[in-house]
Copies of this chain bind each other. A is one copy, B any other.
Amino acid sequence: MNLEPVLLLGPGPSAMHPRVMQSLALPLRGIFDPDLHQAMHEISDGLRGLFGTTNRYTLCLPASGMSAMEAGIANLVEPGDRVVVCVNGFFSERIAHIAERYGAQVTRIENPWGTQFDLGQVQDACEQGTPPKLLAVVLAETSTGGHNDIAGLSEIARRFGSLLMVDAVTAIGGMPVEVDRHGVDYCYAGSQKCIGSPPGLAPVTLSDRALAAIDRRKSGCPSFYLDFKLVAAYWLDGKPYHQTPSSPLIFALREAVAIVREEGLDARYARHKQVGEELRSGLRDIGLQAFPDSSIALPMLTVVRLPEGVEPKSVIVKLRSEHHIEVGAALGEMATQHIRIGTMGYAASSENVKRVTEALRATLA
């Protein structure tokens, strides 16, 4: 199979650094191989930096980021428990949906896409009804290009004895994720966005409070594959066998995390911020409007409003076929008029901003 490179500037996966790509083709390793476990150890170390935590339970689930959203519900919530979700995008709605699948009693704090909730709303929602077992929020909403402010949420959560779950799938590696500072009990992420590794592993971190809540469950965790205790025993302590890990994905993530460390977190966040601003400015220059308001706009994911009458799908197809660039469709109601451009990880560069804005200009001309 021969494949020409496509510049991945969609909502993820993002382009890989050549060293990450080469790591995929390292010799395969088995379940208890010492080289593999050394790599897992180094990944956990690097992830603690990226999550801003000293949690020992910092590891990867053996599946993509979406599995980690589900794992949070499956491990932390029991049927009948109340879950309060701050819903202002596709992915926060998905948390609420999955919580319902697992038999939780779900309260949605709904706000329009591209706006933020405020702490008063959260306090009110927690007060009305049974104290929630879990309060959930998305840090960087890939569907809207907006971020949520998680400061102050843990104080509310603690007031009601609730756990705080934060989705950092798009945020991690591209902006600060401060699990310990913000009192987050469970935070999950993806390997394939601003960390710049391929999809298929889901970094997660759990606080002692989260672990204690798991120990207090009345019923067991229904999922075996996503059972934190089983995954963690294998990942952190090397045994027993739980499932067969994918060594190419682990070696690639080890390399991606090493590259993050070489760049430094602050430099990496600054690069994402600068490139995001360059993109928004470049879009303005060609007459296009970015969403949402720049005060809450994400550095690594920009939603772009296309001119009236231009079909997003035709733009996406033309960028791919004529310019070898992938950008993403928008989600929900935004799908009819918007596209999404990601500047994530290795792909977050001024050069790529020029390439995509130039290609967009030519496509819309």
Contacts and interface: CB of A to CB of B under 8 A. Distances in A.
Interface string A158-202: 000000000000000000000000000000001010000011100
Given A1-B254, A3-B35, A249-B246, A25 B27 contact: no
A190 B244 contact: yes
Nearest to A9: B30
A157 B96 CA distance: 37
Given A66-B242, A198-B248, A223-B223, A29 B6 contact: yes
A329 interface: yes
A233 interface: no
Given A5-B27, A24-B24, A246 B33 contact: no
Given A70-B223, A190-B244, A223-B101, A28 B64 contact: no
A101 B223 CA distance: 7
Given A222-B101, A223-B223, A65 B243 contact: yes
A315 interface: no
Oligomer: number of copies: 2
B1 A30 contact: no
A225 B67 CA distance: 6
Given A223-B101, A244-B64, A4 B27 contact: yes
Contact of A225 (B33, B70, B320): B70
A28 B1 contact: no
Contacts of A25: 21-22, 24-25
Contacts of A242: 66
Interface stretch (A11-19, A109-117, A299-307, A350-358): A11-19
A240 B33 CA distance: 38
Interface residues of A, number: 69
Contacts of A32: 329
Nearest to A200: B246
Contacts of A334: none
Contacts of A225: 63, 66-67, 70, 226
A70 B224 contact: yes
Contact of A66 (B6, B8, B26, B243): B243
A62 interface: yes
A350 to B, nearest CB: 21
Nearest to A221: B101
Nearest to A63: B63
A217 interface: no
A241 B62 CA distance: 20
A78 interface: no
Given A198-B246, A222-B101, A1 B26 contact: yes
Contacts of A144: none
A102 B1 CA distance: 41
A23 B102 CA distance: 38
A247 interface: yes
A27 B6 contact: yes
Contacts of A276: none
Contact of A27 (B3, B10, B222): B3
A13 B1 contact: no
Interface in A229-271: 241-249, 251-252, 254-255
Given A62-B63, A70-B224, A192-B244, 13 more contacts: A10-B30, A10-B31, A13-B247, A63-B243, A64-B245, A65-B244, A101-B221, A101-B224, A102-B222, A199-B244, A200-B200, A223-B223, A248-B249
The 3 closest A-B pairs by CB, nearest first: A200-B246, A66-B243, A63-B63
